[in-house]
């Protein structure tokens, strides 16, 4: 309990409504996400958890017909205001996708892609970033002798850790993970879960998962979504052991979803 109060709020979402055309995908969503902790979004398919995740780095902007009402503040700044450049936002809020999606380039160039976008040219600086990022993603020892090899030569789990390293290379504060382990085998999944435990000391992590056990294992806070609404938001331990809403209880005990 004490941890939850000690943590500082980093992301503040207030009365957020999101529409895809006429479809009301998120309904009056409000929550605060604490700094340097893992927050998990759970819920059945189509409940809006991925949609909310994608509003945090404005990837929804690219879907035609998306309309947003309400506020999303990160560190006190409304990310949908004119003062925020979406490029800067996405640099600060990194994202890892469901399917590992490395570029058809070398391992080195995959990691260097982000820093190069933002203007880092110096070879020694890039070398340093590549090494640090791969070390943080616990991939360095496996690939340090093959940095020039294609990223496609890696296994699925290694590719996903490469994508995490690539996201870390632009020095974000927040890392969004959209069902990042659902395409991986159990051992690779475990490695990524361990990695998340490491990374939360330096980064704020928000993960979408449809694996409740993963949320219970990895996260500090859990948010349960249903039909575009937040049903319950609490410390993971409390939410799983003593849910206050009947629907949450039904979902985590496997009665639906």
Q: What 3 state SS string does the chain have? A: CHHHHHCCEEEEEEEEEEEECCEEEEEEEEEEEECCCEEEEECCCCCCHHHHHHHHCCHHHHCCCEEEEEEEEECCEECCCCCCCHHHHHHHEEEECCCCCCCCCEHHHHHHHHHHHCCCCCHHHHHHHHHHHHHHCCCHHHHCCCCCCEHHHCCHHHHHHHHHHHHHCCCCCEEEEECCCCCCCHHHHHHHHHHHHHHCCCCEEEEECCCHHHHHHHCCEEEEEECCEEEEEEEHHHHHHCCCCHHHHHHHCCCCC
Phi, psi of 89, rounded to the nearest 5 degrees:
-55, -45
Of these, 1, 6, 64, 187, which contacts another protein (CB under 8 A)? 64
Token duo for residue 60: 């929804």
Nearer Cβ to another protein, position 92 or 210? 92
Binding-site size for another protein (CB under 8 A) equals 30
Residues 20-49 that bind another protein (CB under 8 A): none
Q: Which is nearer to another protein, 9 or 125 (CB)?
A: 125
Nearest distance in Å: CB 211, another protein: 21
Write the interaction track for another protein spanning residues 76-115; mark x where CB under 8 A is met and - where it is not: ----------xxxxxx--xx-x-x-xxxxx-------xx-
Q: How far is the CB of 88 from another protein (least distance, A)?
A: 7
Nearer to another protein, 99 or 227 (CB): 99
Least separation in angstroms between CB 68 and another protein? 18
Cβ proximity to another protein: between 27 and 105 the closer is 105
Strand order in the sheet with 38-42: 93-96, 174-178, 204-208, 38-42, 221-226, 229-235
Q: Please say which residue, 1 or 62, places its beta carbon nearer to another protein.
A: 62
Tokens of 124: 């020694």
**Min dist. Cβ of residue 67 to another protein (A):** 16
Each residue 168-187 as x (binds another protein by CB under 8 A) or -, in order, gives --x-----------------
The nearest distance, CB 128 to another protein, in angstroms, is 18
Tell me the closest approach of the beta carbon of residue 112 to another protein, in angstroms: 11
What is the rounded CA–CA span in Å between residue 224 and residue 136?
30
**Residue 62 found at the interface with another protein (CB under 8 A):** yes
Query: Binding string, 132-171, against another protein, x = CB under 8 A?
Result: ------------------x-x----------x--xx--x-
CB of 192 to another protein, least distance (A): 17
- Binding site residues, another protein, CB under 8 A: 57, 59, 62, 64, 86-91, 94-95, 97, 99, 101-105, 113-114, 116-118, 150, 152, 163, 166-167, 170
């Amino acid at each position: 309990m004490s941890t939850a109060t000690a943590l500082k709020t980093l992301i503040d979402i207030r009365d957020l409504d999101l529409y895809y055309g006429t479809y009301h995908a998120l309904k009056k969503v409000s929550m605060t996400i604490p700094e340097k902790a893992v927050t998990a979004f759970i819920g059945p398919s189509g409940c809006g958890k991925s949609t909310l995740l994608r509003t945090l780095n404005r990837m929804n902007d690219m879907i035609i017909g998306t309309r947003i009402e309400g506020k999303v503040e990160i560190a006190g700044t409304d990310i949908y205001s004119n003062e925020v450049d979406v490029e800067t936002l996405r640099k600060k809020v990194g994202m890892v996708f469901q399917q590992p999606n490395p570029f058809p380039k070398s391992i080195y160039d995959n990691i260097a892609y982000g820093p190069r976008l933002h203007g880092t040219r110096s070879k020694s600086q890039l070398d340093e970033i590549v090494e640090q990022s791969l070390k943080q993603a616990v991939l360095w020892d496996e690939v340090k002798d093959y940095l020039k090899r294609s990223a496609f030569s890696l296994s699925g789990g290694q590719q996903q850790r490469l994508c995490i390293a690539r996201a870390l290379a632009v020095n974000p504060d927040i890392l969004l993970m959209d069902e990042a382990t659902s395409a991986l085998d159990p051992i690779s999944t475990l490695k990524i879960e361990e990695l998340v435990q490491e990374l939360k000391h330096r980064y704020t992590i928000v993960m979408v998962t449809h694996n409740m056990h993963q949320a219970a294992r990895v996260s500090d806070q859990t948010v349960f979504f249903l039909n575009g609404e937040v049903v319950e938001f609490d410390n993971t331990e409390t939410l799983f052991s003593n849910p206050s809403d009947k629907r949450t209880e039904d979902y985590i005990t496997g009665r639906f979803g």
